[in-house]
Amino acid sequence: MPNGLKRKNNGFTLIELAVGLVILFLLAGLGFSLIRSASQKTKVAVAKTYIAQFAMVIDGIRNDCGFYPPSENGNLESLTSAGPPSPKFRGWQGPYFKTLPRDPWRNDYFYLIQNGLVFGPQECRRQQRGGPYDETFVFDSTATGNAGLIIENFLVASARVWLNGMEIFHPNQFNPQVSHLEAAVTLLARNSLRVWIPSNVQHSNYFLISVTSPLSRKASYILGSRGADKQPGGDGFAADLVWLPGQATGSFR
């Protein structure tokens, strides 16, 4: 070892101390990142558990009363009511919750009810890599005539939607701050619904599209959490946790 770097009394050189401190800082940062990731994974698991429990209660009310519970300002507040929301809920057994728990990020769970469904709700989202989203859905309907086309928007700033060749929504109608879009449409016995989202829209932003008719008795709901960022859309731990019920069981989208 050169004389200039020779240890005295078995001590360490300044260079060795500096390298040691850098390693300690790196290990500390790595440990914090792992702890934070584990914490967020736990929060996601807790949120999914609560959402699944809410879904069981909502589906149970549908079985008992024949209707899904109403959405109060986009949330589940109706589940805390002892009395039925309206006389038609004859099998109501509330309150189902004394108080509504918030998600692990201290935000309210959201709940949107859709009655008279003919199509959807269908998630429309660009792939993480690639060009624009361009998808056509074909569906039959016995409820022909007057209907509604509904979009629950999660931060999409531009898109086009056609029904049976007629443009219903164009890019200027989309705004990340507007979460709900609705338009009157006319249904045929067989319908073609085309959705186009440009490539400059982030993968984390999406919308759910549905078609409803006053002649249809089918209903559905959208239930979930906004995730760590408490905002619509998002990736990773900030992604929305959205539950869409199926014919037998629901699933996260």
pLDDT tens for 56-113 read 999 999 999 999 999 988 999 999 999 999 999 999 999 999 999 999 999 999 999 9
Confidence class for position 247, pLDDT limits 50, 70, 90? very low
d(Cα 32, Cα 26) in Å, to the nearest integer?
Answer: 10
In percent, the amount of the chain with pLDDT more than 90 equals 68
* pLDDT value, residue 235: 77
Domains in the chain, start-ordered, CATH in brackets?
Answer: 12-111 (3.30.700), 117-216 (2.60.120.260)
Residue 166 scores a pLDDT above 70 = yes
In the predicted structure, residue 12 carries a pLDDT above the cut 90 = no
Q: What is the pLDDT of residue 237?
A: 79
**Average pLDDT over all residues of the chain:** 87
- When mean pLDDT is compared across 29-33, 50-54, 82-86, 143-147, the lowest value belongs to 29-33
pLDDT tens per residue, range 202-220: 988 999 999 999 999 899 9
Residue 130 has what pLDDT? Answer: 82
With pLDDT > 70 as the criterion, what percentage of the chain qualifies? 83
16-20, 145-149, 210-214, 238-242: least confident range = 16-20
CA distance from start to end of the chain: 62
